[in-house]
Amino acid sequence: MVWDETLQLFKELTEAPGAPGFEGPVREILARHMAPLADRVYTDNLGSLVAEKRGTAASPKVMIAGHMDEVGFLVTRITDEGFLRFQPLGGWWSQVLLAQRVHVITRNGPIEGVIGSVPPHILPEEKRKKPVEIKDMFIDVGATSREEAESFGIRPGDPVVPICPFTVMKNEKLLMAKAWDNRIGCAVAALVLRELKGEEHPNTVYAVGTVQEEVGLRGAQTSANLIAPDVAFAVDVGIAGDTPGVSKDEALAKLGGGPQVLIYDATLIPHTGLRDLVMDTAKELDIPIQYDAMPGGGTDAGRFHLQGKGVPSIAISIPTRYIHSHAAILHRDDVERTVRLLVALVKRLDADTVAKLKAY
């Protein structure tokens, strides 16, 4: 893997704003990187991006997808004093928000702000013991009135995203950024195309960036309807359990331990035959894999597998710390191994293999 080019891709993707329903800047970057590697690039009617690479056969159709959106916010109201009330887009834990910087994405460009609330110094003791609810927070953009905020170009309905520059940490294997959930899945889809350049594969590959995953797997449904895949992989992030206070029963994976195979979530029990193919391929290639099961939540694979008559689907994830916050961390080796595993799987998914999977 050419890491200088790859790090540039990571920087561009993670620093771009892309709240659910507002993925345009991410789509433009992803299309620019995918277009030279694909035979055709197009979108569905919600804005999910599809890069189609034809192999030696038109079918089976193999879909590899990451979602372009990140958890963010939506401006709902500008107060008379110029503060912004907001609605979460995706799942946020209130404790990670206060005093964090954000960009309000306006028609005139991004406006910096900070998330605030009533100071704890003037709260009654009982209230100080409780987390501040998101409904009681606001965004301060430095405006002194509604009129001034509006003069900045801010309107209700504008998206808001965290601020966090892409950072190679002191241990250069670890990479910190906002929106790893799920720009890393988008990057992996693009990197698979890059590794397949000039290589034969017995199928047609569809590298996809879906929209609106964080608010209900919406782009997963429309893009799968468009493509009608025979096999689908959702590439997402998984919970890394290698931080203090997390038990092995709560989260198994560690950074650097290899890609995660999601064996259960609230939206998907992975297709048995495809799961076994993933595990067997990883073993043959000496790629370490980890496992995870989540009683709640889900990935785009939960919608892929319900398309048409049913699509063998599975989620392969990159272990990541601090997802759904302003700054998350993942490990280069896990990315590289995930790409290598997916490339190997693409090369094995010929018509006979897929037919056997469907009969499993």
Active site residues per annotation: 213
How many CA atoms lie within 13 Å of 159's alpha carbon, on the beta-carbon side? 18
Q: For 82, left (φ over 0), alpha (ψ -120 to 50), or beta?
A: left
Distance CA 340, CA 259 (A): 10
Torsion, Cα 183 55 348 229, to 10 degrees, reads 60
Neighbour count for residue 282 (Cβ, 10 Å) = 21
Contact 317, 259 (CB under 8 A): yes
Read off the amino acid at residue 108.
Answer: N
Q: Which two tokens stand for residue 204?
A: 């047609």
Helices (H), 152-248: 180-196, 218-227
Nearest alpha carbon to residue 164 among 46, 71, 241: 71
**C-alpha gyration radius of the chain:** 21
Contact 344, 201 (CB under 8 A): no
Measured between alpha carbons, how far is residue 95 from residues 67, 69, 178, 325 in Å? 25, 22, 17, 10
Distance CA 313, CA 309 (A): 13
Counted residue by residue, the chain has a size of 360
Measured between alpha carbons, how far is residue 328 from residues 131, 171, 179 in Å? 22, 15, 8
